[in-house]
Amino acid sequence: MFDTIILLTGPAEHSVFTTLLRGHNPALTVLPVFTAEDLAAIEPDWLRRARMISFTTGVIVPGAVLDQLGFGAYNFHPGPPQYPGWAPAHFALYDHATDFGCTVHRMIARVDAGPIVDVEAFPIPADISVAGLEEIAYTKLVQTFWRMARVLATQPEPLIERALRWGNKRHTRKAYEQICDIPVSIEKDELQHRVKVFGTDHFGIVPTIGLHGFQFRVVVPETESAIADEAVEA
């Protein structure tokens, strides 16, 4: 019997989304999950009667947990199918992509690889920052959750899947670190582009140059008028 949703998200989204889901199904139990430890503490009996919804979380759900869920698991990914994996907004801007979006998909053991249920796409505004692009994608993702909430809360059957495929290149933290490892021979335009996209220290990783056993980290001035080639080495 479907009567439970395991909601894997942040505290701010949890309170709002719980109210929304229970508004469509007052009998629904919504279990909050914020960490891997929270997830591991859920009893198998709860998993068998539950559907999981993951929303912009870094928690990786083990395949063994997904296999025990009685009514599937769906992830709201803050990037389009062309950018599965880590930091999609960063890599899209680095690639000079013209379109971005968000993706809803059924979760399988491999991250951002399950069948796609829904995609919301939009053009990337000119000269937008990573933070600006992430904000648009987050807003679109919330709107998509709102639109799909009734079905997620009331329909025990699996959601309809679309004939769309994920991109072949799956970005990881390691790929992010590698692109921030700046060669001494880098051209000025490429350095400026990497600093603009990856220089904001979102994950504690910034463009770094290694020279004669020393590491020089790029620091971007915190002013609106600052440009990438004014970066200071420290």
The structural domains of the chain, with segments of one domain joined by +, span 4-154, 176-233
Candidates 159, 20, 176; CA nearest to 89 is 176
For the domain made up of 4-154, the CATH class stated in words is alpha beta
Block residue for tokens 């335009």: 189
Task: Compare 51 and 215 and report the one with higher pLDDT.
Answer: 51
**What single string gives the DSSP state of each residue in 20-49?**
HHHHH-TT-EEEEE-SHHHHHTS-HHHHHT
Average pLDDT, stretch 92-118?
A: 96
Virtual CA dihedral for 21, 26, 29, 32, nearest 10 degrees?
A: 40
Please, which pLDDT band fits residue 224 given cuts at 50, 70 and 90?
very low
Contacts of 107 by beta carbon, 8 Å cutoff, 6+ apart: 52, 54, 61, 66, 72, 73, 74, 75, 114
Is the pTM for the entire model greater than 0.85? yes
Q: What are 176-216's pLDDT values in tens digits? A: 999 999 999 999 999 999 999 998 878 889 999 988 888 88
Give 225 or 130, the one with higher predicted confidence: 130
Average pLDDT of the segment spanning 151-179 = 94
Backbone angles phi, psi at 100, to 5 degrees: -140, -170
Question: Which distant-in-sequence residues (6+ apart) come within 8 Å of 128 by Cβ?
Answer: 93, 136
Provide the pLDDT confidence category of residue 231 given band limits of 50, 70 and 90. Answer: very low
Q: How far apart are CA 76 and CA 7, in angstroms?
A: 11
Q: What is the pLDDT of residue 229?
A: 40
Q: Look at residue 219 and tell me whether its pLDDT is greater than 50.
A: yes
- Residue with token string 């990337």: 124
Q: Who has greater pLDDT, 202 or 43?
A: 43
What is the H or E stretch that residue 140 is in? helix 130-154
Helix (H) / strand (E) element for 50: namely: strand 50-55
> How confident is the model at residue 232, as a pLDDT?
33
